[in-house]
Amino acid sequence: MRVIIEASPESVARRAAGIVADLVRRKPRCVLGLATGSTPQRTYAELIRLHRDEALDFSQVVTFNLDEYVGLGPDDPHSYRHFMRQHLFDHVNIPPGNTHVPNGLADNVDLACEQYEREIHEAGGIDLQLLGIGTDGHIAFNEPGSSLGSRTRLKTLAPETIRDNAAQFGHADRVPRLAVTVGVGTILESRRCLLLALGAAKAQAIRQTVEGPVTAQVTASALQLHRDVTILLDEAAAGQLERRAYYHEVESSQHLLETRRGPASGGVRR
Ligand code: GLP
């Protein structure tokens, strides 16, 4: 795992958008796994800026989102489809048909989940999976206790997630209790994962994810099993990491290597 600690949420966003943009430039037909929530918003804003000011081209990019609330249609302002249109899709040149978000209104959810997995596979698999993290350490909506081999499926939200998301809905009672989410196993099949976390509220989940044991109680910890993971944090989210000084040292060595040999050198990471 490569742990990068940036000084501010803005520098996290610039760095994350830079990683996405590098891939889009190198592989214009890449497949991006996308996340919702407040954490990636600045990253999406930076990608929109790169599209506008530096002609970053999304015309061949394909995207798959992690999750969607059950019962919310694409035009519902609280749906993740709506979030993605508002924060990214409507502002870049991605063809709407290239964007995929699980269907929160499917009649046959199991079938829709199988279909979603098939679509990811047929698109060639996820090249880069962007992730946020819940305060309970969940990725996508893989709540504590989710199988680490799980696939796209229906999931019941944990009480802490309902509480965390209550503000967006005005009241906890309005937060849907169910969601369709890709599984931990689906996420682990991505070629590269980039997890972002901002703020002190995420510090404990980040410590458990990076320095704790691999456990279904903290589904982000399963990323320890993946061979290409970058954890990108601001100082507050990194606040409880015991080996912070070491992660900074690794980054300095990485920086030296990259300036000598160029970023493709592989270097000391993971
Ligand atoms: C929800 C989403 C996750 C997201 C998490 C954190 O649970 N399903 O994908 O990572 O919220 O959201 P935020 O970034 O707003 O803290």
The stretch 185-213 carries a mean pLDDT of: 98
pTM: predicted TM-score of the whole model, two decimal places: 0.95
Examine residue 102 and state whether it is found in any structural domain, yes or no: yes
Q: Is 132 in the pocket of ligand 1 (CB under 6 A)?
A: yes
Domain count, the chain: 1
Examine residue 145 and state whether it is found in any structural domain, yes or no: yes
What is the pLDDT at residue 267?
Answer: 53
Share of the chain above pLDDT 70, in %: 97
What is the pLDDT at residue 157?
Answer: 96
Examine residue 248 and state whether it is found in any structural domain, yes or no: no
Examine residue 246 and state whether it is found in any structural domain, yes or no: no
Give strand ranges (E) for 175-228: 178-181, 192-197
Which of 69, 70, 138, 223 best tests ligand 1's pocket when mutated (most atoms within 8 Å of CB)? 138
Q: What is the residue whose two structure tokens read 């099993």?
A: 225
Q: How far is the CA of 138 from the centre of ligand 1 (A)?
A: 8
Examine residue 231 and state whether it is found in any structural domain, yes or no: yes
Reading the block at residue 202, the tokens are 């995420």
What is the pLDDT at residue 260?
Answer: 85
The answer to whether residue 265 scores a pLDDT higher than 80 is: no
Q: How far is the CA of 35 from the centre of ligand 1 (A)?
A: 8
Residue nearest to atom 6 of ligand 1 (CA): 134
Check which CATH number belongs to the domain holding 20 and give it: 3.40.50.1360
User: pLDDT digits over 135-158, tens only?
Assistant: 999 999 999 999 999 999 999 999
Domain assignment of residue 82, given as a range: 2-238
pLDDT band of residue 22 (cuts 50, 70, 90) is very high
The answer to whether residue 28 scores a pLDDT higher than 70 is: yes
Examine residue 215 and state whether it is found in any structural domain, yes or no: yes
Q: Which residues are catalytic?
A: 67, 136, 138, 143
What is the pLDDT at residue 269?
Answer: 53
Examine residue 254 and state whether it is found in any structural domain, yes or no: no
205-211: long-range contacts (C-beta < 8 A, 24 or more apart)? 205/133, 205/134, 205/135, 205/136, 205/137, 206/133, 206/231, 206/233, 206/237, 206/238, 206/240, 206/241, 207/240, 207/241, 207/242, 208/137, 209/133, 209/137, 210/1, 210/3, 210/241, 211/241, 211/242, 211/243
The answer to whether residue 270 scores a pLDDT higher than 70 is: no
Q: Is 134 in the pocket of ligand 1 (CB under 6 A)?
A: yes
What is the pLDDT at residue 259?
Answer: 86
Q: How far is the CA of 260 from the centre of ligand 1 (A)?
A: 37
